[in-house]
Structure 1
Amino acid sequence: MRRTRQLLLPLYLFLGACMPVAPSDTAATRAASDAIEAPSGMPPMKSFSVPRPAQPVASNSDMARDFLDLAFTLESGRSLSTFTRFDGPISVRVTGAPPASLGPDLNRLLHRLRTEAGIPIKLTNTASANITVQAVTRSEIRSALPTAACFVVPNVTSLKEYKANRRTRKVSWSQLKKRDKLAIFLPNDASPQEVRDCLHEELAQAIGPLNDLYRLPDSVFNDDNVHTVLTGYDMTILRAYYDPALRTGMTRNQVADRLPEIFARINPRGASASPKRLSKTPRIWIDAVQTALGPGANPAQRRASATEALKVATAMGWNDHRRAFSHYAMGRLLQATDPQGAQDHFVLAQRYFGQSPDTALHRAYVASQLAAYAISAGRANDALYLLTPHLDTAARHENAALLATLMMLSAEALELAGRVTEGRKVRLDSLGWARYGFGSEWAVRAKLREIGSLNPARRRSGAL
């Protein structure tokens, strides 16, 4: 089983299908008649500097259970008999044609792994590196794995070598007994954020757990693609993964015996946290979500799958983030055909995401959707009320695309409320983040136009 980052529908706004909505009584401001365009010279791209990961809120008993399910099961559900990791220092090299953003993002990630997870990992230029990060085009990646945005493979150092061995035991994760050499394939023609997101997820899988669990709300080891930068929870899992008490070749029972002492030592606050003991996620729900949001299905199949996921979540009696995500997926897929129904599902998603710190980023996504409806209906103050608390959340999770989107929505709401100068400043400030999150200037301009189309004053004036 290969580990791949799937081409799920991006979780950023799907605004184009939301509108139009009946015009409101809100008066058009003078600025609202101006066409929305970025300045002819885009501001410099912004990037995040100091990480701000939050400590995990999970109990140690939950984390031990999660660790075992992550380390001894593949995404297919197939069990693994032995624990594997790198023994000794880990070296990483970059080949191919890397984009300019890859070097700084890789250095920051390696620094975090050393300082937060205690893993001896460093960059090298030698061909004998344990991990090779090869930057290739998206088309080259899809020629190898059509549904993958990026992926990691054992026992090879190049995409060419992988293709020559892809139907052999050499590149099978289920046959792996020790980790010596792996390759990560990243796109070099995607946005800086997409490249970085792939880097975080695939490098974490290359050195750590091979499975993903939808029951984890605060982790990149989850195929919902909400978290894309390693969280405090993830670093704690990786610190446990490389604890001296564990070693390659151990069985599940041997690892399980050592985990209580390990987590008590590395995560003392988890000893007093109440366990949630969330139920396992059935395959039928996973398949339904992946069909609804993944590639290859037509609109009718997507809606049917989203309906199935919601039925399963309801039947399971879930009241956690998986029930919320089921409503979120349904809302996304109803936007084009039933805007009011979509909005109802977003409201339910926000309710089920609750107020826990580990679902803060989820709530930020839902808030962006609800704010879009508020702006389209001319309810500027409602939109600002929804958006303002989540700007810091997006920044803390280093999600530039979401941060830029929230800022662009805030700019529209401010101008709709008559706060023209403030709105223009916020929009200008959003562009540097948008360049990191969305990439090319045309993608940034397209996002500006998409969000500008929500404003009823602009629609009336035709200034888009």
Structure 2
Amino acid sequence: MRNHLLPICLLLVGCMPGPAPDDTATRASQPAAMSSLPPLKSFATPTPARPERSNADIARDFLDLSFRLESGRELAVFTRFEEPITVRVTGRPPATMMPDLAALIRRLQGEAGIDISLTNAAQANITIEALTRREIRRNLPHAACFVVPGITDISQYRRARRSARANWALLRNREKLAIFVPGDASPQELRDCLHEELAQAIGPLNDLYRLPDSVFNDDNIHAVLTGFDMLILRAYYAPELANGMTRQEVAARLPAILARLNPGGAGIPARAPARTPRNWINAIEAALGPDSSPSERQRATRRALGIAQSLGWQDHRRAFVHYAMGRLIAATDPDAAMGHFQAADRFFAATPGAGLHRAFVASQLAAHALSRGDGRTALALIEPNIPVASRFENAALLSTLMLLRAEALEITSRAPEAAQVRLDSLGWARYGFGADWAVRAKLREIGALNPLKGKRG
């Protein structure tokens, strides 16, 4: 399920799967609301990058994703749908949902080679029901969206959640399931739910913090399915695999499957990153969860940082803790926060495939530079990362970077250019943040960083 998280990740909210009751897997059209802002923008052709890791590492990732639930519970056998897979939509989908879902289906067909299609038939394998966020929280309080096997609508959820048919660990094949998504969320949040929940509905059920280039990761940096994710899904539906196989049986077939699907990964040395211990995961969940107080979040983040340091981590997981701490203390101790953001950038820079992560950090470093009136430094941080945000289809991050750029241009006496960039950002902000009030709040938040505006009163 995609969990509601604090704005630690700046603009993202996160997803996890699992079997009920303890491992519930967890992101006719309603007309779009009228807006006085420029038209909403959306991304065109996706440009996912091939994974930059060895097939040996990818095989290990595949097994850990496929034979374990996020709670840590082991799965006895491999399960998937027998193709073809049909998907239908019910509830009250907003205007952006069907185009985004159709684009996702096309990607799964073309990039993952899966026989999957949309249908209006009630007998569809997968039902995606668009609900309100309130309805979702009423059923699963911390979830933004989630997926459950063995049912077709939310009315069946409470009865089914404690039954064998809705228990992922007891499944021996996948035939029918339901995905619940927030139809009243921002277009980006809804799209992110579609990507993660549909991928977990048809593929692996676990998330791994050690993956820097995947939506199968609770850090929620990635918003849409990556090249790594599509490779995992293509392998998941390889003809050599079948329902009921054990971990050992799948492991025996994976080297040949990956050699065929990802020949470039054969010559890359294995890195074999250390597994993520449960105490670190628990600390991060406490740091980002909605039920902790600010002081509890800081204590939990310090615990996570201490664990990362004791394990000698030098990768994106160590960076992520610094980033989370920087976000937590930015308002109360900006200088210490800057130290954490700079540390996060160093560790992200040392992790292959962490370019998007660095773009998030750059937005924080640029905001700090803006608040000091240093527009040139802010521009140097922002401009290389605007195409990164666009390539990874994160409209919320893209619009934030553009708004930061507009303020930096204004500080450096380029007001006409600043006005155009600010105007261009608004269509992306509408996709990323949704309602006009949320877009205007982001405008005010970033505009307040500009010391020139303060001087003007």
Q: In structure 1, what is the Cα distance between the partners aligned to 2:268 and 2:78?
A: 27
Displacement, 1:294?
1.6
Superimposed CA distance per residue, residues 71-120 of structure 1 (whole angstroms, 9 cap, x where no aligned partner): 00000101001000001200000000001111000000000000000000
In the alignment, what sits opposite 2:168?
173
Alignment partner of 1:409 is 2:404: yes
Displacement, 1:333?
0.8
* One-letter amino acid of the structure 2 residue matched with residue 237 of structure 1: I
* One-letter amino acid of the structure 2 residue matched with residue 303 of structure 1: Q
* One-letter amino acid of the structure 2 residue matched with residue 8 of structure 1: L
Superimposed CA distance per residue, residues 361-388 of structure 1 (whole angstroms, 9 cap, x where no aligned partner): 0000000000000000010000000011
In the alignment, what sits opposite 2:262?
267
Alignment partner of 1:144 is 2:139: yes
Superimposed CA distance per residue, residues 334-369 of structure 1 (whole angstroms, 9 cap, x where no aligned partner): 112211111110000000001555100000000000
In the alignment, what sits opposite 1:431?
426
TM-score (norm 2): 0.94
Q: In structure 2, what is the Cα distance between the partners aligned to 1:455 and 1:132?
A: 47
Aligned partners of 1:11 and 1:225 also within 8 Å? no
Equivalence map 1:170-249=2 (5 Å): 170-249=165-244
Give SS of 1:358's match: coil
* One-letter amino acid of the structure 1 residue matched with residue 454 of structure 2: R
Aligned partners of 1:220 and 1:231 also within 8 Å? yes
Equivalent of residue 6 in structure 2, options 6, 9, 16: 9
Alignment partner of 1:299 is 2:306: no
* One-letter amino acid of the structure 2 residue matched with residue 323 of structure 1: R
Q: In structure 1, what is the Cα distance between the partners aligned to 2:269 and 2:94?
A: 44
Q: In structure 2, what is the Cα distance between the partners aligned to 1:85 and 1:433?
A: 36
Q: In structure 1, what is the Cα distance between the partners aligned to 2:227 and 2:427?
A: 26
Superimposed CA distance per residue, residues 298-329 of structure 1 (whole angstroms, 9 cap, x where no aligned partner): 00100000000000000010000001001001
TM-score (norm 1): 0.92
Q: In structure 2, what is the Cα distance between the partners aligned to 1:426 and 1:13?
A: 21
* One-letter amino acid of the structure 2 residue matched with residue 150 of structure 1: C
In the alignment, what sits opposite 2:349?
354
Q: In structure 1, what is the Cα distance between the partners aligned to 2:121 and 2:63?
A: 34
Displacement, 1:169?
2.1
In the alignment, what sits opposite 1:24?
none
Alignment partner of 1:54 is 2:49: yes
* One-letter amino acid of the structure 2 residue matched with residue 403 of structure 1: L
Q: What count of residue pairs does the alignment treat as equivalent?
A: 434
* One-letter amino acid of the structure 1 residue matched with residue 6 of structure 2: L
Aligned partners of 2:8 and 2:324 also within 8 Å? no
**Runs of 5+ consecutive residues of structure 2 not aligned to the other structure:** 12-34
In the alignment, what sits opposite 1:257?
252
Q: In structure 2, what is the Cα distance between the partners aligned to 1:42 and 1:300?
A: 38
Aligned partners of 1:154 and 1:182 also within 8 Å? yes
Superimposed CA distance per residue, residues 18-54 of structure 1 (whole angstroms, 9 cap, x where no aligned partner): xxxxxxxxxxxxxxxxxxxxxx931100000100101
Equivalent of residue 115 in structure 2, options 120, 125, 135: 120
Which has the bigger relative contact order, CA under 8 A and spacing at least 6? 1
Displacement, 1:12?
5.4
* One-letter amino acid of the structure 2 residue matched with residue 202 of structure 1: E
Aligned partners of 1:45 and 1:433 also within 8 Å? yes
Alignment partner of 1:459 is 2:447: no
Give SS of 2:211's match: coil
Q: Give the direction of change, closer, same or farther, for the CA distance of 1:109–1:11 in structure 2 (3 Å limit).
A: farther
Give SS of 2:223's match: coil
Alignment partner of 1:343 is 2:343: no
Aligned partners of 2:316 and 2:351 also within 8 Å? no
In the alignment, what sits opposite 2:15?
none
Q: In structure 1, what is the Cα distance between the partners aligned to 2:379 and 2:352?
A: 21
Superimposed CA distance per residue, residues 230-275 of structure 1 (whole angstroms, 9 cap, x where no aligned partner): 0000000000000000011000000000000000000011011121
**Runs of 5+ consecutive residues of structure 1 not aligned to the other structure:** 15-39
Give SS of 1:290's match: helix
In the alignment, what sits opposite 2:105?
110
* One-letter amino acid of the structure 1 residue matched with residue 425 of structure 2: S
> What percent identity do the matched residue pairs reach?
62
Give SS of 1:139's match: helix
Equivalent of residue 313 in structure 1, options 282, 296, 308: 308
Aligned partners of 2:379 and 2:405 also within 8 Å? yes
In the alignment, what sits opposite 2:16?
none
Give SS of 1:382's match: helix
Aligned partners of 2:151 and 2:157 also within 8 Å? yes
Alignment partner of 1:89 is 2:84: yes
Of stretches 371-380 and 165-174 in structure 1, the one that deviates more from structure 2 is: 165-174
Aligned partners of 1:11 and 1:365 also within 8 Å? no
